[in-house]
Amino acid sequence: MKPINVGLLGIGTVGGGTFTVLARNGEEITRRAGRPIRITVVADKNTELARKVTAGAARVTDDAFSVVTDPEVDIVVELIGGYGVARELVLKAIEYGKHVVTANKALLATHGNEIFAAAQKKGVMVGFEAAVAGGIPIIKALREGLTANRIQWIAGIINGTTNFILSEMREKGMSFESVLAEAQKLGYAEADPTFDIEGIDAAHKLSIMSAIAFGIPMQFDKCYTEGISRLTREDIAYAEQLGYRIKLLGITKRKAHGVELRVHPTLIPAKRLIANVEGVMNAVLVQGDAVGATMYYGRGAGAEPTGSSVVADLVDITRMHTADPEHRVPHLAFQPDRLADLPILPMDEVETAYYLRMRVADKPGVLADVTRILADLNISIDAMVQKEPSEGEDQTDIILLTHLTLEKHINSAIGRIESLETVTGKVTRIRMEELGAR
């Protein structure tokens, strides 16, 4: 049977991994897909590298636009990254009737609605398994495996860099700055780590998963995003003492009046499986009404893990290449004309529990003042720890864990607590999630 011809745009880490996996497992992949899949042309500005990786097995060019308009190319794999030229290339490929596979979560989170609409109109497919959690087939699970379920919530460790940093801070008692430098030295963090440590990368991925889970358009611009750069080793140690671990989580929940969409450091009980995901590994916990909780764990980045997901999309598209477009799995799991108009809830309307740490004067009445403020706002306390002051010091730490309350109420409480004369500096606030079946 005639092979499916693939044009590969970008042969860096993921592109190289894709080429390697497809070459090594070609016979197995052909048996699964029903016909051979071959990369016939590679576009990369570094043509010398491309020729080295392909070793003559594919034509090499530095003109990516010539690939997306090539009549011999059936599927375009976009692994360039970014929002600009990648968007132009993907839309041009769709215009020319090409199916597209991409690992570009930033592109989909910001322009996915436009791209999927164009693909729908043209009758072509866009595969994006590799855009979220590397080699973990979470997109397949949400779009197909859990299709009988009403998804209630998703909580995921979906950025390996931040998970490595938090794991090292907990295990070694090191500062954020020290572990970040180590992560950069090991190649886990970029020279400019902003996208990772400030939660932007996780927000891109969460926006994609939320859209699929709840059948809503991509809404990255409405995702609340808070990173880990202000976390201290003291808070990580206090959390551990209280039976919790801190992870940067992407959380999306279906609520009565809309959808929560948020990325932030989160205390979760140490007994939860997801709390024990360490290092650069990723994990996604999905709660469905029929199946209950399911967890997906594995490598969230890297050449071959991500390349594995790219190739899986190539196989899917090859199988469905000649199928009636109306009978394919919709990009966002729900039929395009049946997407819901659910609003993304502002953070003020999010309900969760909280960890509060404050530095206070070691004198009578301080705790009473704090608890009175919380009581006035109907915030109940679940647990409280008051540390003994160090010798010669007249200040100490108070740590409070609250029951569920609205974010706007905790913000009001923090403002009033910080205005007390006996409280020094800012109150540290970290959200908490039980991640049980409630």
For the chain, 438 residues long, give each residue's pLDDT as a single digit of tens: 789 999 999 999 999 999 999 999 999 999 999 999 999 999 999 999 999 999 999 999 999 999 999 999 999 999 999 989 999 999 999 999 999 999 999 999 999 999 999 999 999 999 999 999 999 999 999 999 999 999 999 999 999 999 999 999 999 999 999 999 999 999 899 999 999 999 999 999 999 999 999 999 999 999 999 999 999 999 999 999 999 999 999 999 999 999 999 999 999 999 999 999 999 999 999 999 999 999 999 999 999 999 999 999 999 999 987 667 777 888 888 888 888 989 999 999 999 999 999 999 988 889 999 999 999 999 999 999 988 877 778 899 999 999 999 999 999 999 999 999 999 999 999 999 999 854
Q: Tally the domains of the chain.
A: 3
Inside any domain, residue 127:
yes
Same domain, yes or no: 240 and 126: no
Cα separation of 308 and 288, whole Å? Answer: 26
Same domain, 25 and 121: yes
* Pair (8, 118) in one structural domain: yes
Judge whether 220 lies within some domain: yes
The answer to whether residues 308 and 293 belong to one domain is no
Smallest CA-to-CA distance from 213 within 135, 282, 294 is with: 294
Classify residue 72: in a domain, yes or no.
Answer: yes
For the entire predicted model, the pTM comes to 0.95
**CATH number of the structural domain spanning residue 378:** 3.30.70.260
Check which CATH number belongs to the domain holding 200 and give it: 3.30.360.10
Query: Considering the domain boundaries, does residue 438 fall inside one?
Result: no
Domain assignment of residue 343, yes or no: no
Q: Looking at the domain assignment, is residue 437 inside a domain?
A: no
Same domain, 105 and 167: no
24 shares its domain with 53: yes
- Quick one: DSSP state of residue 344? B
Under DSSP, the state recorded for 143 is I
* 216 and 236 in a common domain: yes
Domain encompassing residue 148 = 138-299
Helix boundaries (H) for 242-350: 303-320
Q: Are residues 93 and 185 in the same domain?
A: no
**Is 290 found in the same domain as 324?**
no
- CA 255 to chain centroid: 20
Contact 274, 268 (CB under 8 A): yes
Residues 411 and 332 occupy one common structural domain: no
Question: What is the set of active-site residues?
Answer: 205
